[in-house]
Chain A
């Protein structure tokens, strides 16, 4: 349980108080290694890839870390901070693995995509009318979730992906 809470707490803390340097360069495209991965792209999700490290009690951004991005059927190499256009697919978008190195520090993280279709269903129906209303909303959400065509689901990666560097072992 605590293992789940700590990264969330960390992410909330980081996103709540950190201000990042602006990225002036245009987004980088990925290189495809599979024809299927290239032809089946639904859209591109632009994410800022950043690296951070702990300095005393603060988090500071680390510029110039070399990162490798590996997804199903594509890859990219970037120097942080950098905007990257990550491909997304209807129905099924796989997590992407990002590994970074900078000055004896490193990080490897698997970034899960967010199911935007499910998120829209969740937010479209707001609760009201007490217990009966909440129950009706829960049933409606359940019906909407199970009757949608999952092969049409849309996905996106989060817009800011901040990877925390730590001393390499």
Chain B
């Protein structure tokens, strides 16, 4: 609960202050080897941020790897990715980013749980993953 609320606070603060960098127009579609039918796609914008105390600001570039249903995709944040939503049980999204902050490269990772455990064509329309997420370095 505390983690979730701090992530929300981080996202809200990120939107409120500091420079905001534009991700490329085109979203990168995530490939998976999952055999279940793809019923929709969700775009997620991934940004990287640096937090010190109560201050937080987006950083211009971080090298990230997104892992979803056993497949990994690399990109530089900020970036928009297109997540295929398969029929049936939903899976976690894991994003790990690395950026040079100060004298060394630092890593940070986030795991995003799906909002529902399973989803199918007949289910009411709802997002499975948030449309924006920030990986925060401290």
Q: CB distance B102 to A89 under 8 Å?
A: yes
**Bound complex: CA A15 to CA B104 (Å):** 33
Query: Given known contacts A91-B50, A148-B55, what 14 new A-B pairs fall within 8 Å (CB)?
Result: A36-B105, A37-B103, A40-B102, A40-B103, A72-B104, A74-B103, A89-B102, A91-B102, A150-B50, A150-B51, A150-B53, A150-B57, A151-B50, A153-B52
Between A and B, 29 residue pairs with Cβ closer than 8 Å are: A34-B104, A36-B105, A37-B103, A37-B104, A40-B100, A40-B102, A40-B103, A72-B103, A73-B103, A74-B103, A87-B103, A89-B103, A90-B102, A91-B50, A94-B102, A94-B103, A142-B54, A145-B53, A145-B54, A146-B55, A147-B17, A149-B18, A149-B55, A149-B57, A150-B50, A150-B52, A150-B53, A150-B56, A153-B52
B101 within 8 A of A: yes
**In the complex, A47 has a CB within 8 A of chain B:** no
A91 with B104: in contact, given A150-B53, A150-B55, A150-B57 (CB under 8 Å)? no
Q: How large is the interface on A (under 10, 10 to 19, 20 to 34, 35 or more residues)?
A: 20 to 34
**Can you list, as one digit per residue, whether each of A83-117 has a CB less than 8 Å from chain B (1) or not (0)?**
00001011111100000000000000000000000
Are A72 and B102 touching (Cβ within 8 A)? yes
Interface size of B as a range: 20 to 34
Q: Is B13 part of the binding interface, using a Cβ–Cβ cutoff of 8 Å?
A: yes
Query: A91 to B101, Cβ gap below 8 A?
Result: yes
Interface residue ranges of A22-68 to B (CB < 8 Å): 34, 36-37, 40
Q: Is B19 an interface residue (CB 8 A)?
A: yes
Q: Which residues of B contact A94 (CB under 8 A)?
A: 102-103
CA distance A36 to B102 in the complex (A): 8
- Inter-chain CA distance A73–B101, complex, in Å, is 13
Inter-chain contacts of B55 with A (CB < 8 A): 145-150
- Quick check: is A71 within 8 A (CB to CB) of the other chain? yes
With both chains docked as a complex, state the minimum distance between the C-beta of B113 and any C-beta of chain A, in angstroms. 28
Q: Confirm or deny: B59 has a beta carbon within 8 angstroms of a beta carbon on chain A.
A: yes
CB within 8 Å of B: which A101-160 residues: 118, 142, 145-153
Contact A34 B103 (CB under 8 A): yes
**Cβ-closest 8 pairs across A and B:** A92-B102, A150-B52, A89-B102, A146-B54, A37-B103, A149-B57, A150-B55, A72-B103
